[in-house]
Amino acid sequence: MATTNSMIPMRTRRRLRLERLSHALTLPLLTLAAAVTLSACGRDAKGDAEAKGDDTVGEAAGAPKAGGEATEAERAEVVRLDTAGIRLGGIQIGVADSAMTSGLPVTGTITYDANRVSHIGARTDGRILAVRADLGARVRRGQMLAELESADVGQIRAEEREATALLRIARENYARERRLEQQGISSRKELLEAEAEMRRAEAALRSAADRLSVLGAGHGTGGHFDVSAPFGGTVVTRNASRGAMATTSDTLFTLADLSEVWIELDVFERDLARVRTGQPVVVTVEAYPGRTFPGRVVYLGEILDPAKRTVRTRVELPNPDGALKPGMFARGTIRVGGAGPAVAAVPQDAVQEVEGKQVVFVPGARAGEFRPVPVEIGEPIEGRRVTIRAGLRPGERVVTTGAFALRSELAKGEIGEHGH
């Protein structure tokens, strides 16, 4: 390498080289193939050929036939391993499969299903006596979340007790007047007055019970009342603390049913004609490599964002085991129907991130050499694979196993051979 290049920090040189390589994604695929088509052979063949000064070693080891020697930038951005290093890293080379594209790749963020979220608070001012549910707790419908005490509830309960006592007396009086009226001792007027008194007592009792129900204090004694879960779900926020005062404007808990979640995503204006509600969607998240989550489009917005030229779209996902968490970043593919052009497909683990770019590793010009090639990933497909929209063609050789080990070696900045 030239002396001027050696004065540039290794990390800077690697970033600049990857940027130059990534620009190649905009060139025709034929030009890109000439830059990345490589093969490899055993280290012994390399050693013999180098010792003899044989110019054909590049071809024997899998060097590009059309391009001759790799460029200086490509040679510098190389991981070199000996046979032991390849075996230790579990590195295997395969051929990129061919896959038919039929989906629209999208990205978005997992959120709560707004129809399955409840912000829970007290219906009257009071003091929190106890908190019965913590953050992250799974609760059932009707389960107590907190116990409070309120002077208003205490007053209504006192009125309820009084109304209960008056009703008992009114009913006894009505029964007596009815017997006396049947015996001809009391008048009809006295019987009707006793019945009216009983009805007023019943109304007073119902009124007190209704007021307690409105306040969510249908059960309890004195001024005590419970705040309960309206449905089964998970406590996702808790703002209640023992001894604190709670007002009717306070949210003490947020409860979410996470058995279904949403993904909020943007669809570009150019793709709107291909997207409809009801279309199936396949989703992946970084937390569960190789696992896919099926969903469907349930909403397509009516308003175009003038800055991003996108329309807000919503995907609904079943989440029975709670694996998907609100806030997770998700990648998805909307199955829009019809088959697109054939593209390369590689195992998901074959794609690594280097300097903020997605890359795959391909065999270099000599045995034991591996180069990172920037790619544009597409949709996840069956068999824990992902399609490559640009940067790699079907049939080209690529590292299918052990790419993580190569990325680790590249990150060390150790470009020299191992084991010497």
Question: Of 207, 239, 255, which marks where a domain is finished?
Answer: 255
Same domain, 355 and 276: no
| Residue 418 belongs to some domain of the structure | no
pLDDT at 102: 64
Q: Number of structural domains, the chain?
A: 3
| Residue 420 belongs to some domain of the structure | no
Same domain, 268 and 206: no
| Residue 403 belongs to some domain of the structure | yes
Residue-range definition of the domain harbouring residue 284: 104-113+257-335
| Residue 406 belongs to some domain of the structure | yes
Tens of pLDDT, residues 131-155: 999 998 999 999 999 999 888 888 8
Q: Which residue, among 394, 331, 355, has the nearest Cα to 12 in the 3D structure?
A: 355
Asked if residue 87 lies in contact with residue 304, where contact means CB atoms within 8 angstroms, the answer is no
pLDDT at 256: 94
pLDDT at 104: 82
- CATH number for 329: 2.40.30.170
Same domain, 273 and 261: yes
Same domain, 319 and 394: no
Question: Of 237, 255, 273, which marks where a domain is finished?
Answer: 255
pLDDT at 314: 95
> pLDDT class for 175, splitting at 50, 70, 90?
very high
Six-digit token pair at 420? 């010497």
User: Is this model's pTM higher than 0.75 or not?
Assistant: no
Six-digit token pair at 191? 């019987």
Same domain, 238 and 270: no
**Least-confidence region, from 62-76, 166-180, 234-248, 267-281:** 62-76
User: Can you name the residues that pair with 261 across neighbouring β-strands?
Assistant: 112, 317
User: Percent of the chain scored above 70 by pLDDT?
Assistant: 77
pLDDT at 63: 37
Same domain, 378 and 395: yes
DSSP string, 14-61: HHHHHHHHHHGGGS-HHHHHHHH------HHHHHHHHHHT-TTHHHHH
Mean pLDDT of 7-31: 49
Q: Assess whether pLDDT exceeds 60 at residue 51.
A: no
Mean pLDDT of 242-269: 92
Query: Residues in the chain, how many?
Result: 420
| Residue 206 belongs to some domain of the structure | yes
Q: Assess whether pLDDT exceeds 70 at residue 93.
A: yes
Question: Of 193, 222, 255, which marks where a domain is finished?
Answer: 255
Mean pLDDT of 57-83: 52
Mean pLDDT of 73-80: 67
pLDDT at 341: 66
Same domain, 234 and 132: yes
Residue with tokens 């004195």: 222
| Residue 134 belongs to some domain of the structure | yes
Same domain, 194 and 241: yes
Same domain, 322 and 346: no
- CATH number for 398: 2.40.420.20
| Residue 417 belongs to some domain of the structure | no
pLDDT at 334: 87
DSSP string, 278-334: T-EEEEEETTSTT--EEEEEEEEEEEEETTTTEEEEEEEEE-TT--S-TT-EEEEEE
Same domain, 190 and 220: yes
Same domain, 221 and 207: yes
| Residue 419 belongs to some domain of the structure | no
- CATH number for 223: 2.40.50.100
Tens of pLDDT, residues 272-300: 888 999 999 888 888 887 788 999 999 99
Q: Assess whether pLDDT exceeds 80 at residue 201.
A: yes
pLDDT at 291: 82
Highest mean pLDDT among 103-112, 244-253, 372-381: 244-253
> pLDDT class for 67, splitting at 50, 70, 90?
very low
Same domain, 319 and 351: no
Within a 10 A sphere around the Cβ of 321, how many other Cβ atoms? 8
